[in-house]
Chains A and B, each alone.
Chain A
Amino acid sequence: MTTGGRQMDDITIEAMPTKELFVHVLTRDIRLEDAVLDLIDNSIDGAKRLRPAADARFDDLWVKIICSSERFVIEDNCGGINVHTARNYAFRFGRDPKMAPTPNSIGQFGVGMKRALLRFGRFFRIESTSESEHFVLLIDVDNWLRDPEWHFRFDTVRARAPNEARGTKIIVERLTEDAAARFPTDEFVTALKNSVESRQQDYLGRGLAVWIGPARIGARPFQLLFDEELKPSRREKVYFGDSDTPVRAEFIVGVAPSSPMEAGWYVACNGRVILAADQSRITGWDTVTDDGVPKYHNQFSRFRGYATFDCIDAGKLPWNTMKTGVDPDATIYQDARREMITMMRPVIDFLNRLDAEKEEPEDERPLTRLVESARPTSFREATGYTASFSVTVSSKPRGPRMTNILYKRPASKVEELMQAIGARSAKDTGERSFDEAYRRYVEGDEE
C-alpha cells in the first residue's frame, strides 16, 4: 500500500488528515455570521498586539467588511501579519505550540481564519503590510485540493514601503452557494450587525470601529439598575492563582430594564462574548428558575448576569472553538457555573417577590416602585456593587398571602347564580360563593 508516495508496512495505519476534512467537514458546523466574527477576532488580536495594555484605547483602529453575492472583503489597519508568521503559523491548520501566542488573545485554536475563508468561498487573496514587510498570497482551493503537497505560495513578498499603511485585506471570491445567497440579503447583514454589537462590545467600547458596509456598529454597553436600596453584586475569583497564567473570573448579577430578549447570562472570554442572554442549563438557569412549578409570566425578563474570564493564555479559557458557547466540562467552568447559580438565586428570589406584587394594590408595591425609580448604569462604569445582591426595601406583604382560584362553569349557570345572590360579575360571583362556603364549612366548625 502506498500513500503520498510513501511505502507502508502491514501493521501501520494511515492517520494523515485529508484536505477534504478541512474544506468540507470543519466548515460544516459554523454559521456564516460566526465565521465573520472569527475574522474580526483576528483583527482584534492584531489590535491587541499593537496595544497590549488591558485597557488600551483602539480609537483610530478599524475593521471594514463588505459582502455581496460576488465576494467577501474584510480590511483592517490593525498591524498586519508578518511574513514569518504567515509562513509558519497563520496559514497552518491548528496552532503550532512553538508559536509565541498573543497575550489575552481571542483566537487560540489556529482554525478561525482558515475555517472562515473556506466557509465563504474557493478563492482567497490575502494582502498584508506589517511593521517591515508586505506580502500577497493567492489561494485557489480547487487547485490546492488537487495538489498532494500541503503548501501555499506567496505571490509577492517585499519590504514595506515608506509610509505604507499597516493592515490586512482579505478578499474571498467564488463564494460557496449559501454564502452567495445570504451575503447580499438584509437579513444576513442585520443578523451580523447584531452579533458584532453583542459579541464584540468590549472592543467597540474601547473605540474600535467596525464597519459593515456603510454602517458603523455602535457600542451599547450592558446596563444594570442601581439604587441606594438595590445593589447588584460582583464577585471575583482567581483560578490557578499560583501558576504563570492564572485565569481571572468576574461575576456580576443584578436587574435591568425589562427585556425578555436580553434577559439571561452573558459569558465572555478575554472580552469576547461567547454566550448572550442565555437562559439554559449551561448557565444553571433551569436549576434556579425551575422549582417544579410552571411559570406563566415573563417574570425573569429583568435578570442580567455577566461572567467574564480573562487569561494571558487563551487556551485555558472555557470556550468552544467557534466561540459560540462555553466548554461546559472545563474544570473552571464547572466551578464557575456553581458560583453563577449561587449569585443568581437572590436575584431570582427578588424577581419572584416583584412578580407577586402584581397582586397587591398599586400603592402597596414598594419593589415595583424601587425598580422603576432606580437608574440604569453601564456595568463597567458602575461603583457600589455588593458581595451578594441586596435589596433593603422590605416587600412586607401586609395581610395574609393570597392565591388565585380559576375554574370554569357553564355560563348559563353562572348567570343564574349571579342573579340569585345579587352579584355584579362572574368574578364577584366566585368570590361571594367562596365566602359563603367558607362561612358554612370552616367557620361553622368552630361553633
Chain B
Amino acid sequence: MTASYKKIDYRLRPAKHAERLIIAEIGGRLRFFDIHSYRYVGLGSPYFADFKLMHRALGISSMLNIEAMERDRERFNWNMPYATIDMRYGTTDTILPALDWTMPSIVWLDYDDQLSQPKLLDIDLLVRRAAPGSLLLFSVNAEPPAPPGQRRNASGDEASRSDFVEALRAMVGKDRVDPSLKHEDLQGWSAGRVYRRIMTAVIEATLAAANAVITQAERRRRWRQILNIEYKDGARMLTLGGVLYEESQEGAYLAGAFEKLSFFRDDATAYRIEVPRLTLKEMAHLERSVMHSPDEVHELPWLTPKERRQYLQLYRYLPNFVPAEI
C-alpha cells in the first residue's frame, strides 16, 4: 500500500485543517495539568502539520512521532520541523507498548486507513496505560468496510459489492460485530457510526476491566468523549476524541467546560465538518457578521442559508490561504 501522504498534500485539505485547529482548541482547555508539561504523540506525515500546530498553538515541546514507513527514514528526518522530535520507526504494535506513559499526553492516532484489530488494540492500550489527564484522539477512514488486504474503490468494484458485514467481521473480529447488523447499516455515513460504536465499546470494556482491579474509588479511570467528528476531504473520515482521567480529577475535567464548544459531542451524533466553497471576498464579508446568530445573517443572497451557517460555525478553523510557494 502506498502511504497516503504520497497521494494527498495534507496542507490543502480544508476539513482536515479545521479538525487540527479544533483539536488544538481542546488542548488549550485541558485543566488537569499545565499544558507545557504535556507530550504530543502523533503519526505525522512528512508535512508534520499537527506537530507544528501543537507547538505553535499550545507551546508543547515534548513530541514523539511514530512512523511505520522505515524505508523513508531519511526523508522524515530531513523534514522534521523541530530537531527535538523523538522519531520512532516501527508500527504502533511495537512502539506504543515501549513508550513511557507516566507523563500526560495528547495522543492523536491519525490512521489513514480503516478500522482494524490492531487499531482497536492501540485504543485498548492507551486507555489502560496513558497517564490520567491525557487527551486521546483516534481518526480512521469511515468508508464502508472493505475486506482487509483489499482496497475499497469509490465506484462499485468486486470488494464493495461483497457483503459489508462480512468485511467488517474480518476487519475487527466477529465478536465485536452486533449480529443484528445488516449490509444497509454500513452504507454511506452509517458505517462511521458503526465504527464509532465499536471503538467506544472497546474503550468501555477496557475501562471496566481496568477499574475492576482498582480498589481505591478515586483512582478509577473515566473516559469522557468530547469529539465525534466526520468530514470528507477525499475519503470519509471520522475522529473520536476524549479525555481520560481519574475520578479524583472530575473538577479539573469540569473546569475545561468543553461542552461550551460548538463542536463538542459526547454521544453518537457526529459533528460534520462541511466547508462551503466561498470566495475569499465572500468569506471576508461574512466574517463581519460572525457575532450574529447565523439565522439572522441575510447578506450575500446568492448563498444558501446552509452555506452561510456552515461558514459562520467554522470560520475560526478554516484555512484562509492562497497557494504560494515559499
Contact = CB atoms under 8 A, between A and B. Distances in A.
B218 interface: no
Nearest to A386: B98
Interface in A282-325: 286-288, 290-293
A388 B98 contact: yes
B149 to A, nearest CB: 5
A338 B173 contact: no
B190 interface: no
B215 A243 contact: yes
A240 interface: yes
B314 interface: no
A345 B116 contact: no
5 closest A-B pairs by CB: A292-B148, A292-B170, A388-B98, A331-B212, A345-B93
B212 A335 contact: yes
Given A341-B124, A388-B97, A290 B117 contact: yes
Interface stretch (A26-34, A44-52, A181-189, A346-354): A346-354
B121 A286 contact: no
Interface string B113-126: 00011100100110
Interface stretch (A139-147, A266-274, A390-398, A435-443): A390-398
Nearest to B170: A292
B281 interface: no
A387 interface: yes
A343 B97 contact: yes
A287 B121 contact: yes
B210 A291 contact: no
A381 interface: no
B91 interface: yes
Nearest to B91: A349
B56 to A, nearest CB: 32
B206 A346 contact: no
Nearest to A390: B98
A332 B214 CA distance: 10
A248 to B, nearest CB: 13
Name B's interface SS.
helix
Contact of B118 (A242, A291, A389, A396): A291
Contact of A397 (B71, B125, B171): B71
A419 interface: no
Indicate the member of B71, B210, B213 with the most A CB atoms within 10 Å.
Answer: B213
Nearest to A334: B209
A352 B237 CA distance: 29
Interface in B95-135: 97-98, 116-118, 121, 124-125, 128-129
15 contacts: A240-B215, A242-B216, A286-B173, A287-B173, A291-B148, A292-B117, A338-B124, A338-B128, A341-B124, A342-B129, A345-B93, A345-B118, A388-B94, A395-B70, A396-B71
A346 B94 contact: yes
Given A291-B117, A345-B118, A350-B94, A331 B171 contact: no
Contacts of B90: 349
A387 to B, nearest CB: 7
Interface string A344-368: 0110111000000000000000000
B241 interface: no
Nearest to A291: B117
Nearest to B167: A292
A335 B118 contact: no
Contacts of B117: 287-288, 290-292
Interface in B206-258: 206, 209-210, 212-213, 215-216
Interface string B142-156: 000001110000000
Contacts of B118: 291, 345
Nearest to B97: A388
A349 B98 CA distance: 13
Contacts of A243: 215
B121 A341 contact: yes
B97 A346 contact: yes
A222 interface: no
A350 B97 CA distance: 14
A385 interface: no
A175 to B, nearest CB: 43
Indicate the member of B94, B148, B171 with the most A CB atoms within 10 Å.
Answer: B94
A390 B216 CA distance: 34
B206 A349 contact: no
A130 B120 CA distance: 56
A379 interface: no
B151 to A, nearest CB: 13
A349 B94 contact: yes
B129 to A, nearest CB: 8
A349 B91 CA distance: 8
A389 B95 CA distance: 10
A22 interface: no
A239 interface: yes
A293 B91 CA distance: 17
A286 B216 CA distance: 33
A292 B116 contact: yes
B121 A394 contact: no
Nearest to B70: A396
A338 B97 contact: no
Contacts of A387: 98
Indicate the member of A292, A343, A394 with the most B CB atoms within 10 Å.
Answer: A292
A397 B210 CA distance: 39
Given A239-B213, A292-B149, A397-B71, A342 B125 contact: yes
A343 B70 CA distance: 22
Nearest to A400: B71
A292 B171 contact: yes
Contact of B213 (A291, A332, A397): A332
Contacts of B210: 335, 338
A397 B71 CA distance: 8
A332 B209 CA distance: 8
B109 to A, nearest CB: 14
B121 A288 contact: yes
A334 B212 CA distance: 9
Contact of A338 (B94, B147, B209): B209
Contacts of B215: 240, 242-243
A433 to B, nearest CB: 23
B213 A345 contact: no
A389 B96 CA distance: 11
Contacts of A338: 124, 128, 206, 209-210
Interface in B56-104: 70-71, 90-91, 93-94, 97-98
Contacts of B147: 292
Given A335-B209, A338-B124, A346-B97, A291 B91 contact: no
A287 B206 CA distance: 14
A243 B214 CA distance: 11
A389 B149 CA distance: 27
